[in-house]
Structure 1
Amino acid sequence: MPLLDPAIALILLAAGRSERFGSDKLTALFRGRPLWEWAAAAAENAGFESLYLVIGGHSGISGRDGWEVVMNNNAERGLGTSISVGVGAASHHERVVIALADMPLMKPSHLRLLGQESGAIFTCQPDGTAGNPAAFGHEHFPQLRTLDGDRGARSLSLDNTLVIAPPTSDMLIDIDTPSDLAARQ
């Protein structure tokens, strides 16, 4: 795919503690390579030039060529802190797409669509709720920077918000436990 405008960034959240997994799930092998690398490859294949990887101090991930590593020193407080830190690092961009590193079946075309649209866009989850991946314009950055704890972006009252269906429901599979990983191999 052609490269996207560098003013559009992708932030990959990889700072979780994998408590339900029992070890660092993002470095566990999924179909022959570390789990997190599948989401990273989807972002690269979507054409993002501006790539940010948010990790915690406990992370076994050291980085990847072409990615700016962003350290979340408060990762133990929850997902909201990773969103805040990631958006802070990417604050000079016009738009960000936020994706989760434990979603290995993400479709590059969906990530690209989120990046090319405007306003706040969430992906419709199987239960009908708004979720990840999601994208936001620069006008939403100040609110995203206020997130803390386990509150994600859908907890905010954002203007101009859409929820769109993913191209396939299997792309929304996230890996939380060893049985999740084994079932998807």
Structure 2
Amino acid sequence: MTPLDPGIALILLAAGRSERFGGDKLVADYKGKPLWTWAATAAEKAGFQHLYIVMAPRNSIEPGTRWNRVVNAEAVRGMGTSIAAGVAAAQAHERVVIALADMPRVTASHLRTLAQASGPLFTRQSDGKAGCPAAFDRASFAQLRELDGYRGARILAGPDVNMVEPAAPDMLVDIDRRSELDAENAR
């Protein structure tokens, strides 16, 4: 795909503890490759020129040279700290797209849609709520850098929030438990 504007960065969150999974889920096998690589590949194919991956201090992920590693020393305190760390690292950009490393079916075209919009834009989840992946302009960066604990970026979603529909509902599969990974691999 055509490269995106260099002022737009992608932040891939990969610092979770995988407690419900019972082990390091991001390196678990998903259809022949480590789980995290599927979302990373979608980001690379989407045309982002600047890629950030937020990881915990002890992490077994080995991102390629295109990825800027952001170590979140506070990762055990929740996703909010990872969003804050990623946005702080990408603060020179005008827009960021935030994606999750445990969503293997996210598509490059969906990430591009988020990147090329303006203002906050969330993905409509199956329950109708705003969720990830999501994108934000510089005007939201200060609020995102203040996130802490388990509060994610959804707190920026007001009643009139803009959302984009996923091309297919199964694009939003989020692997949290080993049984979910097993079911996906059996498909």
Structure 2 length-normalised TM:
0.96
Q: Deviations over 1:110-152 (max 9, x none)?
A: 0001000000000000011100000000111001011000001
Cα distance between partner residues in 1 of 2:171 and 2:159: 27
Cα distance between partner residues in 1 of 2:149 and 2:109: 30
Percent identity between matched residues is 58
User: What SS class does the counterpart of residue 161 from structure 1 fall into?
Assistant: coil
- The 1:160/1:138 distance shift into structure 2, 3 A limit, reads farther
- Structure 1 stretches of 4+ with a deviation exceeding 3 A read 157-161
Q: CA deviation at 1:155?
A: 1.2
Can you give the 5+ residue segments of structure 2 that lack an aligned partner in the other structure? Answer: none
Cα distance between partner residues in 1 of 2:121 and 2:34: 28
Can you give the 5+ residue segments of structure 1 that lack an aligned partner in the other structure? Answer: none
> Amino acid of the residue matched to residue 31 of structure 2?
R
Question: Residue 123 in 1 paired to residue 123 in 2?
Answer: yes
Counterpart residue number, 2:132: 132
Cα distance between partner residues in 1 of 2:36 and 2:42: 10
Question: Residue 33 in 1 paired to residue 33 in 2?
Answer: yes
Counterpart residue number, 2:12: 12
Cα distance between partner residues in 2 of 1:161 and 1:89: 25
Counterpart residue number, 2:3: 3
Counterpart residue number, 1:149: 149
How many corresponding residue pairs? 185
Q: CA deviation at 1:157?
A: 5.9
Cα distance between partner residues in 2 of 1:73 and 1:130: 27
- The 1:94/1:159 distance shift into structure 2, 3 A limit, reads farther
Counterpart residue number, 1:22: 22
Cα distance between partner residues in 2 of 1:10 and 1:161: 21
Question: Residue 104 in 1 paired to residue 104 in 2?
Answer: yes
> Amino acid of the residue matched to residue 183 of structure 2?
A
